[in-house]
């Protein structure tokens, strides 16, 4: 494998040919912000928050899709890079609810993290804002499209669910939004409640309904566990408060990781100190089921 020399923020290192600038920076412990990038799933370079300055290049470059070339010299936090990132954050926040105080994603939201990192505040905005409302029609998924930053991660991730491609971008321009099955609610759509989209959303636009309103992030502890429902062993986290497991969440699914509702319910039943009754979809409606039914009847789970 050919090795290439690259200098990032004054530090020279060798990386394998094909390594992106973002990956090379990560190898040096340099964190480049990313909102849309998701390795192997969404490598589109669309949010532009990962731009860097490359010596000799006329414009800033998206580091997530930029392969290292021999002798490349990169600055990841130069004044022009920082200015560009601030502008991107301002643009996103201009059409975003000012809801960090009560948002369940606060403390682990990438938009909030980067706004803090670059000192960008919510500003009074006179223009139009999205008012799409909240979709709770699927009892496992809380969808707030007003908080969506159109990163595309969920769309790309959902396209990887076998025989499903529920999510897509709909409408155009200012009206662009993520839609389910050509503009159905999540509950009406063919969504199988696998939680893959939730696991990759960088903001509070897609949340696990059953892991909301359980406390602020500093009151909660986490423990990683593997699902034992099948040989895939998907990753979940137990969320604990005062020593008790109060919720279970699917962790980000990488390429080839299945994640499914059956696994999520299995982890819930196994570990949660007070699991909520499972709901399965029958004749288009979510109805309460016994655990045996929810975990054992593949036919019903396959349709959810």
Binding site residues, ligand SF4, CB under 6 A: 96-97, 99-100, 103, 105-106, 109, 111-112, 147-154, 157-158, 161, 164, 166-167, 178, 191-197, 200-201, 203-206
CA dist 161 and 170 (Å) reads 19
- Taking the least distance from each CB to ligand SF4, the nearer of 15 and 150 is 150
Judge whether 28 and 8 are in contact, CB under 8 Å: yes
SS3 content of the chain, % helix, strand, coil (to 5): 25, 25, 50
Spatial neighbors of 268 by CB under 8 A, at least 6 apart, are 210, 248, 275, 276, 278
Smallest separation (angstroms) from ligand SF4 to the CB of 249: 13
Smallest separation (angstroms) from ligand SF4 to the CB of 152: 5
- Taking the least distance from each CB to ligand SF4, the nearer of 19 and 138 is 138
CA dist 18 and 4 (Å) reads 9
Smallest separation (angstroms) from ligand SF4 to the CB of 233: 19
CA dist 30 and 10 (Å) reads 12
- Taking the least distance from each CB to ligand SF4, the nearer of 203 and 251 is 203
Q: What is the DSSP letter of 297?
A: -
- Taking the least distance from each CB to ligand SF4, the nearer of 62 and 200 is 200
Smallest separation (angstroms) from ligand SF4 to the CB of 78: 26
Smallest separation (angstroms) from ligand SF4 to the CB of 198: 7
CA dist 128 and 94 (Å) reads 9
Smallest separation (angstroms) from ligand SF4 to the CB of 295: 18
DSSP-derived pairing of the beta strands 3-8 and 72-75? parallel
CA dist 226 and 243 (Å) reads 19
- Taking the least distance from each CB to ligand SF4, the nearer of 53 and 135 is 135
Q: How many CB atoms lie within 10 A of CB 248?
A: 25
- Taking the least distance from each CB to ligand SF4, the nearer of 34 and 178 is 178
Q: How many CB atoms lie within 10 A of CB 301?
A: 21
């Amino acid at each position: 494998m050919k090795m290439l020399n690259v200098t990032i923020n004054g530090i020279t290192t060798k990386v394998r040919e094909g390594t992106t600038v973002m990956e090379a920076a990560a190898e040096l412990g340099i964190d480049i912000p990313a909102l849309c990038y998701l390795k192997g799933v969404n490598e589109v370079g669309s949010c532009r928050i990962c731009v860097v300055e490359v010596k000799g290049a006329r414009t800033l470059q998206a580091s997530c899709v930029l392969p290292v070339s021999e002798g490349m010299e990169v600055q990841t936090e130069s004044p022009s890079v920082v200015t560009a990132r601030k502008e991107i954050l301002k643009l996103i926040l201009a059409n975003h609810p000012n809801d960090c105080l009560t948002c369940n994603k606060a403390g682990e939201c990438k938009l909030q993290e980067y706004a803090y990192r670059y000192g960008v505040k919510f500003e009074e905005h006179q223009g139009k804002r999205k008012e799409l409302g909240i979709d709770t029609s699927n009892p496992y998924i809380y969808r707030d499209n007003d908080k969506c930053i159109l990163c595309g991660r969920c769309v790309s991730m959902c396209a990887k669910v076998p025989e499903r491609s529920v999510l897509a971008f709909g409408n155009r321009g200012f009206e662009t939004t993520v839609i389910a099955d050509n503009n159905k609610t999540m509950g009406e759509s063919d969504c199988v409640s696998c939680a893959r989209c939730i696991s990759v959303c960088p903001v509070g636009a897609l949340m696990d309904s059953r892991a909301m309103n359980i406390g602020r992030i500093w009151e909660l502890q986490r423990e990683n566990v593997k699902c034992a429902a099948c040989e895939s062993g998907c990753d979940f986290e137990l969320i604990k408060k005062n020593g008790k497991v109060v919720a279970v969440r699917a962790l980000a699914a990488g390429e080839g990781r299945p994640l499914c509702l059956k696994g999520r319910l299995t982890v819930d039943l196994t570990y949660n100190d007070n699991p909520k009754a499972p709901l399965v979809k029958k004749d288009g409606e979510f109805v309460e089921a016994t655990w045996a039914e929810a975990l054992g009847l593949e036919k019903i789970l396959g349709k959810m």
